[in-house]
Amino acid sequence: MSGSQDAVPGIVFSTVDKLAKWAQSSSLWPFSFGLACCAIEMMSTVAGRFDISRFGAEVFRPSPRQADLMIVSGRVSMKMAPVIRRLYEQMAEPRWVIAMGACSSCGGVFNNYAIVQGVDKVVPVDVYIPGCPPNPDALLYAITRLQEKIRAGEAVPGGRVLTPAPREKVVSPWKK
Amino acid sequence: MHLEDTRRLFEQARERFGEDISLSDRPSGEGSIVVSGPRVREFTQWARSQSFDFFADIGGIDYLFESPRFDLTYTVYSTGQKRHLHYKVKLDESAPAVDSISDIYAGANWHERELLDMFGISFNGHPDPRRILMPEHWRGHPLRKDYPINGEQVQFSGNFGDVEPQTLPPAPGQDAFAGWQALETTPGSYTQLIEPAAGPDGQPDADGRMILNMGPQHPSTHGVLRLLIELDGENITRTLPDIGYLHTGIEKTAETLSFQQALTLTDRMDYLSPLGNNLAYSLSVEKLVGVEAPPRATVLRVILAELTRIQSHLVWLGTHALDMGAMSPFFYCFRERDQILDMFEMISGVRMMTSFICPGGLREDVPDEFMPALEQFMRVFPSRVGEYETLLTKNPIWLERTRGVGRLALDDALAYGVSGASLRGSGLAWDIRKAEPYCGYETYEFEIPAGTHGDVYDRYLCRIEELRQSHKIIRQAMNRLEPGPVQTNDRKMIPPPKNELDNSMESLIHHFLISTIGFTAPHGEAHVPTETGRGLLSFYIAGDGSPKPYRMRARTPSFANLQALPVMLQGGLVADAVATIGSIDIVLGDVDR
């Protein structure tokens, strides 16, 4: 929100875009969708002590149609991955994704046949949270971080690129 | 059960089965009877007539380089005589098949499907031979030893450029994510399973029946459970649970890790009672290796296991009430739960996945602040249980929603292997802590609550009473806590203390070996049943002389409890399904592993 210096007191000037982003970031509606251990910490975040509503994100919606933030809380199995993809597509835009915990960020300790090594192979992710499971504080931090990204226009509504270019070979930053 | 008991039973059975049975030659503390494949049904019937009324588990072990290759380990319990029996069937590599026992013990149904899925063993006469954990299109049987663990190569700084990040499965076409959609099983293919009575998805057929899909994303299924419910009007006529949406491959992964590392996986199995899982695993490993935890560790284990039971029940109570529209208990329960989690954080640095109970004792001694914090919790907790009860126990809405709902008869509960408060609600006060005590539970004074009707309300009352009983146990344990070591003195299992390393070469060697490759377990099999918040949890661990478990089979309570859900829902209203699911207190990580 910005106002010019010689503005009439009590009147704030802004662009519609900024106003919309402010509104979107201040009332994120998470999707009440738990996968594994992290979902229990997500519930702790909702409860009185950590109180996610201080950040305007307490309205957990059981239907993807009404939610705009998907918190992938737990390991994503090969059987669940297509379902997550479908749920993501059922969410209305703008929509954001937080990968909560080591498993949904990169597979965690489960590098095996059953677990998808990171939910970013299935849906585009805006914020990753490390931890197994992350503390409720970490989830709150991720939400504030996402809010900053939304306000700055870094988190693209509807997710990032869905058709990536062919992967280039990544060169190690540590290799001389 | 002791080896002599098994021998005695074996002699009894010998009269009837003759040369078709023998004693297993694998070393194990309790022994097991090997039954020839064709007579397993008959033997199961005989075991059932010998008062082994509770069906627990069928586990498989793939001894790849032996002949016969597969060991199936059946475990049945006698609730009256307070003992259990293992018997085995050995199967050949080529087309392994054995007769199904799912008509003798109804609970064998899912266990046999799991063996079909994971080992490719077929069961003759099985009513529903399908995969259970893996998707229908899956190829291969993951728990066979010749099945690779797969996964992806991890990029480290040393090999960063050489490792290609993968997308699993290979994405066809332009859209990088389209591959996933192709994998999803269409809803139609599942509805065929309930044919012919049902019509197409979402529409009633000629009889007025329709199929309702519940999950895998549903706020009241406590995770990623999927139920296909066939409805006649408002009444449920049939239910088909579909599980495996959280299958994590824990049993397979454990085979690639050392005993200490595999411990961390058990936390993540039943994530509401991590320390209970640690305890069950540690006891089995200790039995296999042949060491015992020192007294202080045992008492602390009891305290921690009971605290875990309390916090697990608190999550159950909060979410169960939330499912039925009562919001406030959730906040009350999580208040006390956070108090317990703070104590866990105090001792280990982590709120949930502590891995604090480990083979050989505890990770370390509890800090000085732990006992005052525990004392404070112990002072407030009884009145807090009273608060929960004020909210619910005599609440007319709560009574209306829970009384007479989701009934489970005792015979069904036993045959399905339902354990924990779900079994006790049906009227049998059977608890492993009393029936086959471990960690010195026989020396504590506590009661096992039991219901009478087997409905949702009785299960609720049982768990509420268990909160009080756990409190009572912790109080007794606190009084008998003496200073002392918390890890076994066995240098082969626990690394020697640091100060010895300067003076003793042997200590240095042991420290190095345990830190690098871990401790080794002898050839053999071990199994210790325990009672967690959800019921009977046991690990069947096979060692092969290496520092890794050759096989870690987890008999989880939720898997069996969930199997009885269709029986409880049968004939009830669809609105009561949510109440019933909440009352059996399943954790999907525990079901799917």
Identify the domain containing residue B347 by its residue range: 280-534
For residues A159 and A124, the answer to whether their CB atoms sit within 8 Å is yes
Q: What is the pLDDT of residues B495-512, one digit of tens each?
A: 888 888 888 898 888 888
Place of tokens 């807090």: B384
| pLDDT for the residue B136 | 75
DSSP string, A126-138: SEEE-SSSPPHHH
Is residue B483 assigned to a domain?
Answer: yes
A138 at interface of B, judged by CB pairs closer than 8 A = no
Summarize the confidence of residues B480-500 as an average pLDDT.
Answer: 86
Q: What is the pLDDT of residues B214-229, one digit of tens each?
A: 878 887 777 788 888 8
| pLDDT for the residue B156 | 67
| pLDDT for the residue B211 | 76
Q: What is the pLDDT of residues B180-194, one digit of tens each?
A: 444 444 433 343 444
Q: Look at residues B89, B124, B159 and tell me which one is the last residue of a structural domain.
A: B124
Kindly provide the ipTM of the predicted complex, given to two decimals.
0.85
Q: Look at residues B534, B549, B572 and tell me which one is the last residue of a structural domain.
A: B534
Summarize the confidence of residues B476-499 as an average pLDDT.
Answer: 87
Q: Do B175 and A162 touch (CB under 8 A)?
A: yes
Contacts of A40 in chain B (CB under 8 A): 271-272, 315, 352
- Helix/strand/coil for B351: coil
Is residue B319 assigned to a domain?
Answer: yes
Residue A163 has pLDDT above 50, yes or no: no
Summarize the confidence of residues A18-34 as an average pLDDT.
Answer: 87
Residue B168 has pLDDT above 50, yes or no: no
Q: Look at residues B66, B96, B124 and tell me which one is the last residue of a structural domain.
A: B124
> Over chain B, what is the mean pLDDT?
85
Measure Cα distances from B314 to B68, B207, B421 in Å.
47, 43, 14
Is residue B54 assigned to a domain?
Answer: yes
Peptide bond into B372 cis (omega under 30): no
Q: Which of residues 52-91 of A touch B (CB under 8 A)?
A: 62, 64, 74-75, 77-83, 85-87
Measure Cα distances from B118 to B122, B133, B254, B445 in Å.
11, 8, 15, 42
Q: What percent of chain A has pLDDT over 70?
A: 83
Residue B196 has pLDDT above 70, yes or no: no
Summarize the confidence of residues B269-294 as an average pLDDT.
Answer: 91
Q: How confident is the model at residue B178 (pLDDT cuts 50, 70, 90)?
A: very low
Is residue B399 assigned to a domain?
Answer: yes
> Which of B176, B245, B248 lies nearest to residue A163, judging by beta carbons?
B176
Q: Which of residues 2-31 of A touch B (CB under 8 A)?
A: none
| pLDDT for the residue A86 | 80
Summarize the confidence of residues B205-219 as an average pLDDT.
Answer: 74
What CATH number does the domain containing B39 carry? 3.30.460.80
Task: Find the range with the poorest average confidence among B85-99, B145-159, B353-367.
Answer: B145-159
> Which of B142, B168, B184 lies nearest to residue A116, judging by beta carbons?
B168
Give residue B495's identity as a one-letter amino acid code: P
| pLDDT for the residue B474 | 93
Is residue B507 assigned to a domain?
Answer: yes
Task: Find the range with the poorest average confidence among A50-54, A94-98, A153-157.
Answer: A153-157
| pLDDT for the residue B159 | 67
| pLDDT for the residue B378 | 92
Name the minimum distance, in Å, from the CA of B454 to any CA of chain A: 28
Q: Tell me which of A113, A170, A172 to substitute to probe the interface with B (most B C-beta atoms closer than 10 Å).
A: A113
Please tell me the distance from the alpha carbon of residue B455 to that of residue B437, in angstroms, as a whole number. Answer: 28
> Which CATH number applies to A16-152: 3.40.50.12280, 3.60.10.10, 3.40.50.2300, 3.40.50.1950?
3.40.50.12280
Is residue B229 assigned to a domain?
Answer: no
What CATH number does the domain containing B422 carry? 1.10.645.10
Q: Do A78 and B216 touch (CB under 8 A)?
A: no
Q: A49-86: buried (b, 16+ CB within 10 Å) or exposed (e) per residue?
A: ebebeebebeebbeebeebbbbbbbbbbbbbbbbbbbe
Residue A160 has pLDDT above 70, yes or no: no
Q: How many domains does chain B have?
A: 2
Residue B127 has pLDDT above 90, yes or no: no
Greatest mean pLDDT among B147-151, B237-241, B320-324 lies in B320-324
